[in-house]
Structure formats: structure tokens, C-alpha cells
Homo-oligomer: A and B are copies of this chain.
Amino acid sequence: MLDDRKLAVLRAIVEDFVSSGEPVGSKALVDRHNLDVSPATIRNDMAVLEEQGFIVQPHTSAGRIPTDQGYRLFVDRLSGIKPLSGAERRAIETFLMGAYDLDDVVMRTVRLLAQLTRQVAVVQYPSLSRSTVRHIELVPLADRRLLLILITDTGRVEQRVVDLPASIGDESVTQLRALLNACLDGRRLADVAAVIADLPERVEPGERVNAAAVFSVIVETLVDRNEERVVFGGAANLTPADFSRGLHEVLEALEEQVVLMRLLGDSGDLAVVTVRIGAENQVQGLRSASLVTTGYGAGEQSLARLGVLGPTRMDYPTAMGAVRAVARYVGQILAES
């Protein structure tokens, strides 16, 4: 149905349109790529490609531009992932090396990805529920107030003030801290709730009210709250020309945590680089945007997603390469710390 040359034509159209932004015509195609046929032949091929829905003409006497479906075919069958250059890889490494805490890692990753791809970068904070408890700390703030700090193996630090029903002595705090660490250290956060359910029995009756307050805060705030943050950067890379209805829509979507979360959540397998093109994003306002994402995380298991967002007219092979490489390096950094 689509012979090799037609595929080559589609590939050429995508490449030219991505680099120029102008609809591409049959003559330009044979000139720039060495297809050994005449423009007329290409026109026939293009007619077929258009009929099949891979390309369209913005108006009668213009060249063709790829449709979402055309890009889809391109990324699925006509292009691979373009590896980064050595210089780029070194740049990533040195850029991420200096990070001193999780916030910083995420911020740097965003800047890095945005700069590397000249698109908008999107990075999700490593999910709490898949990481494990490294340490729990209780700090007395006042007579009936504790600061609870939970440290995960991904370097994430969560904190919360706990208001106690009764006053508490230093000694009790120490005991409680020891109990928590003994029982929770190394546990996956997803399992914490179950473990905590059994804890009250192991607390002296007199301390149970206070302990219960602490327990419930842990469960409510740290475990149930899987409100995983997503940050973005590189909005300055958005070019108004690529978004017919203006940047407004896109910026609005990006600033809406919930939308971003859903966007990332939808993307399939964490282990590979996923591409969502145009209307495949079920988000109003990102109909003319594409999203290239993958999972990343410490160790072999992916904890969260990162990627880039740009116009459908995007250099997919390069973007995919950058996303994959950055994800790997970030994973390494997280594993080390």
C-alpha cells in the first residue's frame, strides 16, 4: 500500500517541514533529497499520502504538511532515536553533577532538558509511594507540637507540623522516634499505612493519644498525598507561530498541575520513550503540541516521568535522544545520593 518511496517521501516531508516550518512542495523535495524521480511522480505519491491522511495542504496551491497521523507513522516506523553527541553527554553530566538536593536535581533537569531540546521541559517529582523510608525524625517545637520529618531513599524530605492533644516529654519523643524508625525504615511508602495500623499496640497506653496523632499525620499527609508535583521550564522556547490559537492556551495547560499530571500519567510504559502527538493528548489546548516522555528513577525501577513538550512540528529523533539520555543520568544521580 505504501511502498518504500512513498515512505521516503513522507519522511522527507516531515524532515523538511520540521526544519523550515513551511509547507513543502514536490519540487523542493526532489531538490533537497536525492530522490531519483521527477516532481510529478512525487506529486502522485503525495496525492496518495494525502488520501491516506498522512499529509494535508493548508490551501489548494500550497505544499503539504504532515498530519498528526503522519508524524505518528514517522516516529513509529521512519525514524529512530538520535543519540546525543559526546559533548552533549558530557554537558549533561557536569550540569547535573553539582546538584545538592532533590529540588536542585529537578530544577537542573528542567533547565537542562529545555536547553538541550529548545522546547518546554516537564519533570515530575519522584513519586513518594514507590520510594522507601530512610529515616524519620521527630523534633519537639513546643509543648504540644512536633515537627515530623520523613526522608526517603530518593532524597526527598517531607515535613509536617503535628499538633498533639496532650503535652509530651522528651523521653516519649525519643521512644516514639525509635519505634517509628525501627518499624518503618526501609519500608516502601506504599506499605507504610499497613505497618502503622499495627503500631498503637506497641505504644504504652499513656502515650497512645499523642502517638496516634503522629501516626495519622504520617498516613494522611505523607502516604495518601500522592499529589506528585510537576514542574516545567523553558516556556520561552515556545514560538507563537506554531500554536495557532496563541501561547495562552498552552501556558494555561502547563500551569495547571492537574492537567500536567494527567498528561504525564497517560503516557504508557515507563521504560521506553513515549511520544504523544497532537490530539493524542487528551488535553484541550495541547491539541497542537506533542509530548515526548520517559520514566526515570534510582535503580532499575522508574519512579516518575520527565519529558519535553513542543509543537507537533518537533524534531522527534533528537528530542527522544535527549529525553532518554537525561532520564538515564538523572537516574544515576538519584541512585548515588
Q: Determine whether the beta carbon of B337 is less than 8 Å from that of A161.
A: yes
Q: In the complex, which of the residues B141, B161, B236 contacts A251, with contact meaning CB atoms closer than 8 Å?
A: B236
Smallest CB separation, A64 vs chain B (Å) = 28
Q: Determine whether the beta carbon of B240 is less than 8 Å from that of A255.
A: no
Look across to chain B and name the residue whose beta carbon is closest to the beta carbon of A101.
B159
Smallest CB separation, A331 vs chain B (Å) = 17
Q: In the complex, which of the residues B139, B158, B247, B254 contacts A135, with contact meaning CB atoms closer than 8 Å?
A: B139
The copy count of this chain in the complex is 2
Query: What is the predominant secondary structure among interface residues of chain A facing chain B?
Result: mixed
* A235 in contact (CB, < 8 A): yes
Known: A139-B137, A235-B251. A151 touches B147 (CB 8 A): yes
Q: In the complex, which of the residues B157, B221, B247, B254 contacts A149, with contact meaning CB atoms closer than 8 Å?
A: B157
Look across to chain B and name the residue whose beta carbon is closest to the beta carbon of A139.
B135
Look across to chain B and name the residue whose beta carbon is closest to the beta carbon of A157.
B159
Smallest CB separation, A14 vs chain B (Å) = 26
Smallest CB separation, A310 vs chain B (Å) = 15
* A160 in contact (CB, < 8 A): yes
Restricting to A127-162, which residues have a CB under 8 Å from any CB of B? 134-135, 137, 139, 141, 147, 149, 151, 155, 157-161
In the bound complex, CA of A139 to CA of B138 (Å): 12
Q: Determine whether the beta carbon of A236 is less than 8 Å from that of B248.
A: yes
* A252 in contact (CB, < 8 A): yes
Q: Determine whether the beta carbon of A100 is less than 8 Å from that of B221.
A: yes
Q: In the complex, which of the residues B159, B247, B337 contacts A240, with contact meaning CB atoms closer than 8 Å?
A: B247
Restricting to A223-238, which residues have a CB under 8 Å from any CB of B? 233-236, 238
Which residues on B sit within 8 Å (CB–CB) of A233? 255
* A21 in contact (CB, < 8 A): no
